[in-house]
Structure 1
C-alpha cells in the first residue's frame, strides 16, 4: 500500500526532513469533510459548522503536522475540475510510516439529521473521482445518521479495494474536552497504514464494519456498537490490533464502481409493539407507492398473530401486491430465525428473515436493491436473505473444516515464513494445483504474508508467465492495491516485466498504477500486438528469466528462500 517518498537511487540528502523521507514510506489519504459536531464552533446561536478545518483544527496540532513541506495534492471536484489543495503529514507512526493527507470540504456542510440519498451520492462521487489518487479515505460526518451513511455507502460501492473510514465526534474538536482528536487521528492512521478494503466506522478507539454499526448513546464517547460482529480493529496502548480474519476482500474480477440510484422514497420502517392493530399495519402497507417495509419484530422475529389471523392476512395481502417485507429484531443483539411459532408463521407468509441485520443496514440494503435495474421481486427477496457486503452473518457451511497449525519446518524460519517461501517457489514454477492446495488450507495467512521486500503473493505472480496463477490469487481475494517496499503495485511489476496478459487481468480486477508510480514515469504505450494497449515504462517485453532476475535483484535477495531467511513471510502488524 505504501512506497518510499524518495527512491533508493536518489542522491543522499543531508537535510533531516529529506533523510526522514528516504527512510520512511508515505501514504496519501483524502479527508472529506461533510459536516457534523466535529467541525462546529460556538456562536450566539449555539454550535454552528465552521469552515477552514485543516488550518484551524489540524495544522496547529503536532500529532497531525510534522512540520514538513506542505506539498499540494490534487483533488478532483465533482464538476470534473481538479484543484490542488495544501497537504499536511503526520509524524512517523509506530509502523514507520507517514500519512500525508489533503482535506476537501463540501461547499455546503451537511446536517447529518437531514441527510438523504443526495448526500450519500455526493460522498460516493467524491470517493469515485479521487479513487486513483489516494490510498484511503476518511469521511467526517455527524453522528446522528453516521451508521446509516456507512451502511448506504457499503452497498453503493462495489469492488472496493481501499479503506473508506467514517468518523465524527460527540464534542467539537475545538472543545476543551473532546473525543474528536482521537477519532480523527485513529481513522487517519488506520486508513493510511492498513489496507482494509471496506467501508468502516471508527469511534472510541475501535474500527467497525460500517454496515454492522448502530448508535447506542446520545452523549457517551463510546457512542457506537456492533452487537453482532466483532470489531475489525482496536487501538491500544501498544499499537493497532487488526482482526485480519474478519476483513473482507474482493474475490470477483470487477473494477471499482458506484451505484448512485437508491429508492429511498418507497420504503418504510415499522416497529411492532404490544397492542398494534392489523388496521394500523394495513394503513402503513397501503401507503401509495410503497415497495418495501422493514418490520422491527420482537426477539427472534416474533409478531402478533391472534386467533383470527388478521395480522398475518394483512401481511400476506401486501406481499401479494409485490411489497417486500423484511423482519429484523428489535433486540440489540441476536438474529431473526424460525425459532418460535410466530416467526415461523411470518416466514410462511413470505416475510424475509433479516437474520442479524441492523435496522440501518436493512433499510439501506433495501434502498439499494429496489433501485437495481431489471431486478425481479424474487431476486430482491433472495439478495435480502444473503450477505452482499458482510452486513449479515453467513450461515456456516457443513463443508467447512478447521486445520491443525503447521509444524515449524525450519530452524531459522517460522512455519508461516516457510509456507510463504514454498508458495513463492510454486508461483515461480507455475504449479497451479499446488498453489490451490496451499490456499485451500492457509489462504488467510498466505494472502497477507510479505517477503523481505514487502512483496505479496500477487506481486510474485505478476512477474511470472502464468496468468492462471494471477487469476487464482485474485479469486481468493488478493489485493491489487498493495505496494512493496519499492512502491510498486502488482500491476507496475507486471508492466515492468512485460507480462501483458497478467497486466490486463489485473486491470480487469480493478488494478491501477499508484499515483507515485505514474510520477516516476509509467505511461501508456501501444503493445506490439495490434490494438492492445498497455501501461509501460519499457519499449520491449522481458523474458521470464530477465523479469525474475530483475525482480529478485530489486528485492535485495536471489530467491524466495533467501528472502524468507532474511525475514520474509511477515504478516502485517496487527
Structure 2
C-alpha cells in the first residue's frame, strides 16, 4: 500500500454531477469547479496533486456501453503511463457502477495503481446528498494509501471491484459484497494478452436466467442471435431443467458452434458446483463452464475481457475458471 501523490479524477457523469433540466436530472459538465469549491469551503486540503478529466459524452450510467468501458480504460492507462498519475478516482452513476467496477477490474489487470470508483444516490448540492461524503471518503482513502486494483467506495464502505453489486435502489448504502462462496484456483500469472495495455474489442454477450417454463426454442433463439457467449443464471448450485432434452441439445449445439456457455447461480449467496446434483452435471456435460461464486457483474466483465482480448473459446473457458483478481478466490 502506498499513499497517492498525483491523482487522476475521471468524471464520467452520473447522479453525483447531475443538474436539473426541463426533462429532469441530467449529467452536467463543470464538476471540477464544483469539486474545488467544495474542497475550499469545507477546509479540506488533499495531501496530493489532482487533475480532473471529463469523459465525452457525459453519461447517465443507465446508458453505459462496452465502448464507454474501453474509453475509460484508455483514459486511465494514458493518465498513468503518460501523465505520471499514481492513483485514479472514477466518478460514476450508480445504476451500472458495479458493472463498470467489474469490467475495469479485468480490463486493468497488471496496472500497478489503485483505482477507486464512487458516486452518489443524490446529486452534489441537493439537500441531504451523500455526494460529498462519498467523494471525501474516497479522497481520504487514497490519501492514506491503497493497494493496486479496482475498488468501490460508497456509503462509508470500501468494496472489491469484482465482487460488488447494487442491492438497493434508494439507500445510501446501496452497494455490498454478497457472500458468494469463493474457493477458486488463482492463476499463477496473468497472460500478456490479458494485461491492461493490450488491445480490446467489443463482445456480443447475453444473459439468460433459467425459469420454470423456459422453452428450448426460446433459449435457442438467444443462442443463435450471433452472441459470442451466453451467461446462464442457473438455479441453486448450478442446476437446470435436466429432463428437457431439446434444451440440452440446444446448449450442446451452441457450444459446438463456438458459443461460450458460462453458468452462475441465481442465488444471492452461494456458488455453482455442478456435481452436487445430476441436474447440474447434465448442464456441465452440455458444455457449460462454472462461474463458481462470481456475481453477474463479475462474470460479464470477465467474459468481455477474455473474448475481447481475442482468446478462442477454449482459452477463454480456461481463464474464466481461474481467479484473476479476487473474483473467484479470497
Return the TM-score normalized by structure 1: 0.53
Match of 2:220 in 1: 282
Output one character per residue of 1:435-460: Cα deviation in whole Å (capped at 9) or x when no partner.
xxxxxxxxxxxxxxxxxxxxxxxxxx
Match of 2:230 in 1: 293
Match of 1:126 in 2: 75
Q: Is the 8 A contact 2:230 2:262 kept in 1?
A: yes
Output one character per residue of 1:135-165: Cα deviation in whole Å (capped at 9) or x when no partner.
2110001111111111111111121211101
Q: Distance in 1 between matches of 2:196 and 2:176?
A: 28
Q: Distance in 1 between matches of 2:233 and 2:180?
A: 19
1:258 aligned counterpart, secondary structure: coil
Q: Distance in 2 between matches of 1:148 and 1:260?
A: 20
- Superposed displacement of residue 294, structure 1: 0.2
Match of 2:306 in 1: 369
Match of 2:279 in 1: 342
Q: Is the 8 A contact 1:156 1:260 kept in 2?
A: no
Q: Is the 8 A contact 2:27 2:58 kept in 1?
A: yes
Is 1:354 matched with 2:305?
no
Match of 1:257 in 2: 196
1:363 aligned counterpart, secondary structure: helix
- Superposed displacement of residue 301, structure 1: 0.8
Q: Tell me, which stretches of 5 or more residues in structure 1 are unaligned?
A: 4-25, 67-88, 91-97, 231-247, 395-574
Q: Measured at CA, do residues 260 and 140 of structure 1 come closer, stay the same or move farther in structure 2, by a change above 3 Å?
A: farther
Match of 1:139 in 2: 90
Q: Measured at CA, do residues 190 and 301 of structure 1 come closer, stay the same or move farther in structure 2, by a change above 3 Å?
A: same
2:159 aligned counterpart, secondary structure: strand
Q: Measured at CA, do residues 163 and 220 of structure 1 come closer, stay the same or move farther in structure 2, by a change above 3 Å?
A: same
Match of 1:39 in 2: 17
Task: Find the partner of 1:268 among 206, 216, 219.
Answer: 206
Q: Tell me, which stretches of 5 or more residues in structure 2 are unaligned?
A: none
Q: Is the 8 A contact 2:207 2:233 kept in 1?
A: yes
Aligned residue pairs total 321
Q: Measured at CA, do residues 63 and 190 of structure 1 come closer, stay the same or move farther in structure 2, by a change above 3 Å?
A: farther
Q: Distance in 1 between matches of 2:254 and 2:64?
A: 29
Q: Is the 8 A contact 2:67 2:202 kept in 1?
A: no
Q: Distance in 2 between matches of 1:260 and 1:168?
A: 28
- Superposed displacement of residue 334, structure 1: 0.7
Match of 2:136 in 1: 185
Task: Find the partner of 1:221 among 149, 154, 172.
Answer: 172
Higher strand share: 2
1:257 aligned counterpart, secondary structure: coil
Match of 1:202 in 2: 153
Q: Measured at CA, do residues 126 and 65 of structure 1 come closer, stay the same or move farther in structure 2, by a change above 3 Å?
A: farther
Q: Is the 8 A contact 1:58 1:64 kept in 2?
A: no
- Superposed displacement of residue 106, structure 1: 2.2
Match of 2:266 in 1: 330
Is 1:104 matched with 2:84?
no
1:262 aligned counterpart, secondary structure: coil
Q: Distance in 1 between matches of 2:76 and 2:242?
A: 47
Output one character per residue of 1:332-356: Cα deviation in whole Å (capped at 9) or x when no partner.
1110002222111111222111101
Return the TM-score normalized by structure 2: 0.89
Q: Distance in 1 between matches of 2:142 and 2:126?
A: 25
Moved over 6 A (4+): 250-256
2:9 aligned counterpart, secondary structure: strand
Q: Is the 8 A contact 1:305 1:312 kept in 2?
A: yes
Q: Is the 8 A contact 2:180 2:269 kept in 1?
A: no
1:188 aligned counterpart, secondary structure: helix
- Superposed displacement of residue 57, structure 1: 3.9
2:98 aligned counterpart, secondary structure: helix
Is 1:115 matched with 2:64?
yes
Q: Measured at CA, do residues 59 and 2 of structure 1 come closer, stay the same or move farther in structure 2, by a change above 3 Å?
A: farther
The root-mean-square deviation of aligned C-alpha atoms, in Å, is 2.5
Output one character per residue of 1:278-307: Cα deviation in whole Å (capped at 9) or x when no partner.
1111111111x222100011111111122x
